[in-house]
Amino acid sequence: MSRKGWRSPKEVRIADVARIAGVSTATVSRVLASPDKVRQKTRDLVLEAVRQCGYTPNSVARNLRKRRTMTALVVVPNLANPVFAQILRGIDEELTQSGYGLVIGSLDNCEDREARYVELALSRQVDGVILMNGRIPEGNKRTMREAGLPMVAMCAAIDDDKIPNVVVQDREASRAAVEYLVQLGHRRLGYIAGPPSNIIAAERLAGFLEGIAEAGLSEKDFVKWDGRFVFSAGVAAAEAFLKLKDRPTGVYATSDESAIGFIKVVRAAGVRVPEDVSVIGFDGIEFADYVEPTLTTFRQPLHDLGRKGAAVLLKMIHKQMQPGDWNIRLPLELLERDTTRAIPDGTRKASRQGRGKPHLVSH
Amino acid sequence: MSRKGWRSPKEVRIADVARIAGVSTATVSRVLASPDKVRQKTRDLVLEAVRQCGYTPNSVARNLRKRRTMTALVVVPNLANPVFAQILRGIDEELTQSGYGLVIGSLDNCEDREARYVELALSRQVDGVILMNGRIPEGNKRTMREAGLPMVAMCAAIDDDKIPNVVVQDREASRAAVEYLVQLGHRRLGYIAGPPSNIIAAERLAGFLEGIAEAGLSEKDFVKWDGRFVFSAGVAAAEAFLKLKDRPTGVYATSDESAIGFIKVVRAAGVRVPEDVSVIGFDGIEFADYVEPTLTTFRQPLHDLGRKGAAVLLKMIHKQMQPGDWNIRLPLELLERDTTRAIPDGTRKASRQGRGKPHLVSH
DNA sequence: TCGATTTTTGTAATCGATTACATCTTGAGA
DNA sequence: TCTCAAGATGTAATCGATTACAAAAATCGA
């Protein structure tokens, strides 16, 4: 019961256990790491000693010796964004399953905080890094790569064949969003963009423009509003929308949040959704199903994305990369809900009416 | 340019730098840690060598030697919950400012994952722990406390005077919520509870019951629905609500998510909010302001809560705790928005009408 | 019972930094 | 120029585990 004469419990070392059990530190270490290499009797002796003084190995020392930390760093732009939160859950799950830990580095939209995380990685505190922010300065990226640090990019296709990519098919889904609206009979579209500097936003814009071209539409047939993937961007877009005389009948918002902001404001101004304007979002966050009317959107396979990303990182760490691992692009799923509908007298090509089964976007 | 003959860049050690600069490792270490103790000329020599071979100190080794990691662990029940996301931002900010890092341990609602995080802490990989989950098994808590690990509880008042508490005034705000509804003339109330096993939920329930008693109401005057702080709990409550013949006119949901779920379902059934039923939430998440109608709620000072919690942990780590630090309870702010209103012919005590200025709940 | 083999255990080097202490320089003042 | 304090640098111990290798003990067959 009493522990007099001992170090404070927080400072029990392997040597203390060894002394109590009457064996060497090597044996204690073995009991804990590979019990089958130690005779039963000795093992029991050691385990009893461990129990008695409440020993937990110091993993800082272990990490130093083993030259690895069993931990990965994930750099995200923003913790408050539910999209990242979901991806993180997937990552966490995959890593945990393999005995790895996770350090989350949130930039909180301050790009300069990145330096700290780069240092964390470079100083060997983690075994690998997953990048989810669109804009890692080239310098940092190169430094880390040269340091031989396993890395995975989950922001957007990075044109660097040393860094594997795990992303969703932003471009394809964007194109499909246009196609979907056009099929419903919409000929005049609105586009709520992401931040111009963001790689993902650029991908989605490219897809949108491809869709426009494929539908035989031109620049005159759509309005584009800049945004930042957030609620307020949708609000701003809606305000611009309301001022137009020739309003779009179909709006594609590149994030659910901005779609929700848009809908809220136009409805407050008496514009009905979907009767007067159809809106389709992007992300598939939970709240998209909570709002009224429920939001039609492309669902990102966030959880899966996270798991795949982490899986690739682990392969990278264990040097088991295979050809197919370098460029993974997951499909999105169209969730047809209540903010979109066909123009009654429109000249629709397809006859998909009302609620259909969600369909998968293929490459 | 060429690096032949060197270790791979990832393995540059302080000894390499020392050799190149022609000094001892001690000097290199000093240049990096306390430059003013080294002569200018030597310093330049060393810095040049550092630059030349791209040296970054191995912080695992440093942590071992210094017996501290400059990192704190935060255990949260769930990353996807925006409430925790906001608190985490506050924590992160405060820690970063003091040069500390942050490891987030998400339980993802699996309590058994906790063991892993306890081990992380016990194995000296972090200097302190912030607990945000309501149900840390006693055993684990005691183990960590006995290990002398600095800890802060941010879930609810833990009746352990060795662990400081940083929480919001759940009970008081709950009481105030009842008071508010009663003042608006509501005499028949609904209560959407949190999970019975959760400490915070228990606090809120206690506050609610206090409020009921203070208003001179009794058990017959309210209906209580169990929930889990989530959207679906609100949905379930609404379904129960709709079946009642004598429906409450004022509903207090102990989380915004459940309030939103409730509103969505009752409106779909033709019940108007706030005309037929007033709803007040709890949390003050962003989405509460995005839904239609905007949700009246008690806003938790999440960011501040996080900062304060981290600040207390840092004091604990640095052994600078002061009497007032052991029990911090932050007030909430009532955000009067569009889901609540006075019963027109009700017998209200106060005459607060429509939108007032948000008012602070004091102890 | 003896030696060979296998199994178990111990010794000591190692991971890569920091830092107390010792030693060597430098420069000011006599 | 010499002395001595202050300043700069080096030496080596240290943090706490793991593990290669050596040594000891157990096991087995003859």
Residues A125-136: pLDDT tens digits? 999 999 998 676
Domains of chain A, residue spans: 9-57, 69-168+303-330, 170-299
- The DSSP result for B87-101, as a single string, is HHHHHHHHHHHTT-E
CA distance B96 to B102: 8
CA of B38 to C1' of D4 (A): 22
Q: What's the mean pLDDT in B339-349?
A: 73
pLDDT tens per residue across span A105-126: 999 878 778 889 999 999 999 9
B322 Cα distance to chain centroid: 22
From the list B72, B13, B108, B60, the residue with the least C-alpha distance to B310 is B72
Backbone angles phi, psi at A327, to 5 degrees: -145, 95
CB < 8 Å to B85, chain A: 79-80, 85
Helices (H), A110-230: 114-122, 138-146, 170-183, 199-214
Residue B56 is nearest to which of A103, A123, A148, comparing CB atoms? A123
**Which nt has its C1' nearest the CA of B30?**
C18
CB < 8 Å to B122, chain A: 56
Classified as helix, coil or strand, B191 is strand
Helices (H), chain B: 14-21, 25-33, 40-53, 59-66, 82-97, 114-122, 138-146, 170-183, 199-214, 231-243, 256-268, 302-317
Class of domain B170-300: alpha beta
From the list B317, B248, B187, B292, the residue with the least C-alpha distance to A290 is B292
Query: In terms of CATH, what superfamily is A170-299?
Result: Response regulator (3.40.50.2300)
Q: What's the mean pLDDT in A234-256?
A: 97
pLDDT of A329 higher than 80 = yes
Q: What is the CATH number of domain B67-168+303-330?
A: 3.40.50.2300
Nucleotides of C under 7 A from a protein CB: 7-12, 14-20
- Residue B57, CB, strand C, below 7 Å: yes
Examine domains B67-168+303-330 and B170-300 and report if their fold is the same: yes
CA distance B15 to B198: 53
Residue of B nearest to A83 (CA): B80
Nucleotides of D under 7 A from a protein CB: 7-12, 14-20
CB < 8 Å to A102, chain B: 103-104
pLDDT confidence tier of residue A345, bands split at 50, 70 and 90: low
Q: What is the pLDDT, as a whole number, of residue B345? A: 66
pLDDT confidence tier of residue B158, bands split at 50, 70 and 90: low
Give B3 or B13, the one with higher predicted confidence. B13
Q: What's the mean pLDDT in A180-197?
A: 96
Q: What is the CATH number of domain B9-57?
A: 1.10.260.40
pLDDT of B360 higher than 50 = no
Asked if B64 and A61 come within 8 Å (Cβ–Cβ), the reply is: yes
The two tokens of residue A303 are 């959880």
Class of domain A69-168+303-330: alpha beta
Q: What is the pLDDT, as a whole number, of residue A318? A: 96
Residue B291 is nearest to which of A79, A123, A291, comparing CB atoms? A291
pLDDT of B300 higher than 70 = yes
Query: B21, B45 in Cβ contact below 8 A?
Result: yes
Q: What share of chain A is helix, strand, coil (3-state, %, to 5)?
A: 45, 15, 40
Residue A82 is nearest to which of B58, B80, B102, comparing CB atoms? B80
